[in-house]
Copies of this chain bind each other. A is one copy, B any other.
Amino acid sequence: MQNYKMILEYEGTRYNGWQRQGNTDNTIQGILERKLGEISGEAVEINGSGRTDAGVHAAGQCASFRLETELNCDFIKNELNKRLNRDIRILRVEQAHPRFHARLNAKAKTYVYRICTADKAPVFTRHFTYLYPCKIDIEAVGRAADMLVGEHDFRAFTSNHRTKKSTVRTIYSIDTEYSDDILTIRFTGNGFLYNMVRIISGSLLMVGTGEMNTEDIALALNSQDRKKAGVTLPSSGLMLEKVYY
């Protein structure tokens, strides 16, 4: 039994997210498992570092899988790339420690949310930029972002707010940048709740437009009430950039 670690990128536009859904699905995991099955002749389970929702992109998703028969890493990479559409690309396959698991061992992740505030999205990044024409106060966005950094109970910032599991997470950094009408919000944290990045991005965008202020964000955080936070932005602007182990 050989364990493998794989790094890949994909444009999520045409897919129903990462997680396999039955046999006739259109998910990244499902497609990868089918193709890897063709190559290896084995029934393979591929574990991602986490699910990405329908429409979410990844520049550095990580996944792990085991094969009964050891195959060369570059062979796996090349054979998968040949069989996959142009919107999924395997960047690297390497042998991993027998106990390595892409989800269970993930220490931290970086996500990026991109918003275009001009009247039309840039042509060359239109498929992974959310268009929201408006004027932004980037300093206000930065102040509100700073306030969310650290260990907090982010229950107000998840769609799954009735969960009984802990909703405490640590955000190590939220970097905000605004140039050429593109607001880029980059989150690094030890884990993110369901829709957390999209809801925080929506809340920060509302701070940028003046619909919310830093005080509102603080109140939302303390309230643990989803209704106090901002809107959930669409999946199209979200990208999983990197997973740390």
In this assembly, does A97 line the interface, its C-beta being within 8 Å of a C-beta of chain B? Answer: no
Which residues in A have some Cβ–Cβ distance to B below 8 Å? Answer: 9-11, 57, 59, 77-78, 81, 86-90, 119-126, 128
Instruction: Give the residue of B10, B81, B124 whose beta carbon is less than 8 angstroms from that of A9.
Output: B124
Contact A86 B121 (CB under 8 A): yes
Q: Contact partner of A123 among B11, B121, B124, CB < 8 A?
A: B11
Would B123 and A89 count as touching, CB distance under 8 A?
yes
Q: How many copies does the complex hold?
A: 2
In the assembled complex, how far is the CB of residue A62 from the closest CB belonging to chain B, in whole angstroms?
A: 16
Having A11-B123, A57-B124, A89-B122, one finds 14 other A-B pairs with CB under 8 Å, namely A9-B122, A9-B123, A9-B124, A10-B123, A11-B124, A59-B124, A81-B120, A86-B121, A86-B126, A87-B126, A88-B123, A89-B123, A124-B125, A124-B128
